[in-house]
């Protein structure tokens, strides 16, 4: 493992120090606005236009959601490495697995298989029907529907994905409501690590355009990471075709980066991932939620 580098933020907009000063100055008033959204809270003191600019400067579109109260927003800001510098957590050190977590997952799968667990990958659950004492599960696998019978069923599924099954979720399971935020990450590699001369190596650039947070990983790759509306923007771009997606990536990078009028160097290769259910959450964050939900039929 190594020290996670992306706690030092570069901003093409106004300085991060201004953002930090603003958030720290407003923090004492949070208790006076327990029910207000973070956007309304900041708007109350700074006006709507400035509040929107401040929220965008954090890099997280989710902070604009009506459900996110001021207290929730400050908790999110201080618990993310990219934004912790705006809070009392500025000195926190983060660490990461230098080669990723793939080998750990492989090891865990082998241990489970040795204990008798069977893995069937790339299956999508379509429905669950009660069939006598058993349950009948329908899966989609490479375009074919496969049926599986089981006495007991435990589902580890994003709550909002449950709504797509015939299981009357959440009304038959829980008195609470659920929602989720999409996430999108795009990776880009280049023939030369041109961003080294800009002083961006192992730093993150905050952008007000749909790229939002741009990470420069040593001399290896460039990554942008978005949520909520920006994630939907990139999902839609991908669905319109790779050419349109890459054209928008280039245009927004040229807007955000100090290229001094020069074009972005050619992209050598790229990879992206969209998570429809990237972050799951309750719509009643203050309530006590059970660790597991049980269907009335068992």
Residue 134 has pLDDT above 70, yes or no: yes
Three-state DSSP state, 209:
coil
Three-state DSSP state, 8:
coil
Q: What is the pLDDT of residues 251-296, one digit of tens each?
A: 999 999 988 888 999 999 999 999 998 988 887 766 788 888 888 8
Decide which of 47, 68, 95 is a domain's last residue: 95
User: Strands 204-206 and 9-11, how do they pair?
Assistant: parallel
Q: How far is CA 199 from CA 88, 205, 217, 277, in A?
A: 26, 11, 12, 35
| Sign of the C-alpha dihedral computed for residues 201, 59, 84 and 50 taken in this order | positive
119 backbone dihedrals φ, ψ, rounded to 5°: -105, 130
Residue 44's nearest CA partner among 62, 29, 24 is: 29
Chain-centre distance for alpha carbon 68: 15
| Sign of the C-alpha dihedral computed for residues 126, 181, 6 and 199 taken in this order | positive
Residue 14 has pLDDT above 70, yes or no: no
Residue 63 lies in a domain: yes
| Tokens of residue 133, six digits | 């004492």
Residues 79 and 118 in one domain: no
Q: How far is CA 90 from CA 93, 216, 273, in A?
A: 9, 20, 30
Residues 112 and 81 in one domain: no
pTM: 0.84
Residues 172 and 216 in one domain: no
The domain that holds 232 is classified in CATH as: 3.90.660.10
Residues 184 and 268 in one domain: yes
| pLDDT score for 282 | 81
Residue 293 lies in a domain: no
Residue 252 lies in a domain: yes
Q: Which domain, by its residues, includes 68?
A: 2-95
Evaluate whether 120 touches 127 at the Cβ level (below 8 Å).
no
Residue 70 lies in a domain: yes
Task: Give the model's confidence band at 56: pLDDT under 50 very low, under 70 low, under 90 confident, else very high.
Answer: confident
285 backbone dihedrals φ, ψ, rounded to 5°: -65, -20
Task: Give the model's confidence band at 224: pLDDT under 50 very low, under 70 low, under 90 confident, else very high.
Answer: very high
Q: What is the pLDDT of residues 135-173, one digit of tens each?
A: 999 999 999 999 999 999 999 988 888 888 999 999 999
Residue 227's nearest CA partner among 186, 272, 181 is: 181
Residues 121 and 75 in one domain: no
Residues 35 and 122 in one domain: no
Evaluate whether 213 touches 224 at the Cβ level (below 8 Å).
yes
Q: What is the pLDDT of residues 58-73, one digit of tens each?
A: 889 999 999 899 998 9
Residue 116 lies in a domain: yes
Decide which of 124, 143, 176 is a domain's last residue: 176
Task: Give the model's confidence band at 15: pLDDT under 50 very low, under 70 low, under 90 confident, else very high.
Answer: low
Residue 205's nearest CA partner among 215, 219, 193, 217 is: 215
> Largest Cα–Cα distance of the chain, in whole Å?
70
246 backbone dihedrals φ, ψ, rounded to 5°: -70, -35
Using the structure block, give the residue that is written with the tokens 């799968």. 109
Residue with the larger pLDDT of the pair 53 and 237 = 237
Chain-centre distance for alpha carbon 101: 18
Residues 8 and 59 in one domain: yes
Residue 292 lies in a domain: no
Q: What is the pLDDT of residues 74-125, one digit of tens each?
A: 999 999 998 998 888 888 999 999 888 999 999 999 999 999 999 999 999 9
Evaluate whether 138 touches 127 at the Cβ level (below 8 Å).
yes
| pLDDT score for 149 | 96
The domain that holds 133 is classified in CATH as: 3.50.50.60
Decide which of 115, 150, 176 is a domain's last residue: 176
Residues 37 and 84 in one domain: yes
270 backbone dihedrals φ, ψ, rounded to 5°: -155, 160
Report the share of the chain in percent with pLDDT over 70. 98
Residue 239 has pLDDT above 80, yes or no: yes
Distance in angstroms (rounded) separating the CA atoms of residues 214 and 185: 10
Distance in angstroms (rounded) separating the CA atoms of residues 24 and 64: 18
| pLDDT score for 12 | 53
Residue 286 lies in a domain: no
Three-state DSSP state, 179:
strand
| pLDDT score for 141 | 96
| pLDDT score for 196 | 87
Residue 245 lies in a domain: yes
**Cis ω on the peptide bond leading into residue 269 (within 30° of 0)?**
no
How many structural domains are present in the chain? 3
């Amino acid at each position: 493992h190594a020290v996670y580098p992306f706690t030092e933020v570069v901003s093409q907009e106004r300085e991060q120090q201004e953002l930090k000063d603003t958030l720290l100055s407003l923090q004492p008033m949070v208790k006076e606005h327990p029910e207000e959204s973070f956007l309304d809270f900041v708007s109350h003191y700074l006006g709507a236009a400035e509040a929107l600019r401040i929220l965008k400067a954090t890099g997280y579109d989710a902070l604009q959601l009506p459900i996110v109260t001021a207290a929730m927003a400050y908790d999110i800001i201080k618990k993310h490495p990219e934004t912790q510098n705006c809070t009392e957590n500025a000195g926190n050190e983060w660490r990461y697995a230098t080669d990723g977590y793939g080998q750990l997952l492989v090891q865990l799968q082998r241990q489970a298989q040795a204990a008798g667990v069977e893995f069937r990958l790339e299956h999508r659950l379509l429905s669950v029907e009660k069939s006598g004492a058993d349950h009948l599960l329908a899966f989609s696998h490479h375009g074919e529907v496969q049926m599986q019978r089981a006495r007991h069923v435990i589902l580890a599924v994003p709550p909002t994905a449950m709504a797509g099954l015939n299981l009357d979720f959440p009304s038959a399971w829980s008195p609470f409501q659920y929602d989720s935020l999409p996430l999108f990450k795009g990776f880009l590699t280049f023939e030369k690590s041109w961003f080294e001369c800009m002083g961006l190596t192992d730093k993150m650039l905050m952008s007000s355009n749909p790229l939002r947070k741009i990470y420069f990983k040593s001399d290896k790759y460039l990554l942008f990471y978005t949520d909520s509306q920006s994630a939907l923007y990139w999902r839609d771009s991908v669905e319109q075709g790779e050419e349109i997606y890459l054209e928008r990536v280039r245009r927004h990078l040229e807007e955000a980066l100090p290229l001094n009028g020069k074009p972005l160097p050619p992209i050598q290769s790229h990879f992206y991932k969209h998570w429809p259910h990237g972050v799951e959450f309750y719509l009643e964050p203050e309530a006590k939620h059970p660790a597991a939900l049980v269907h009335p039929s068992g």
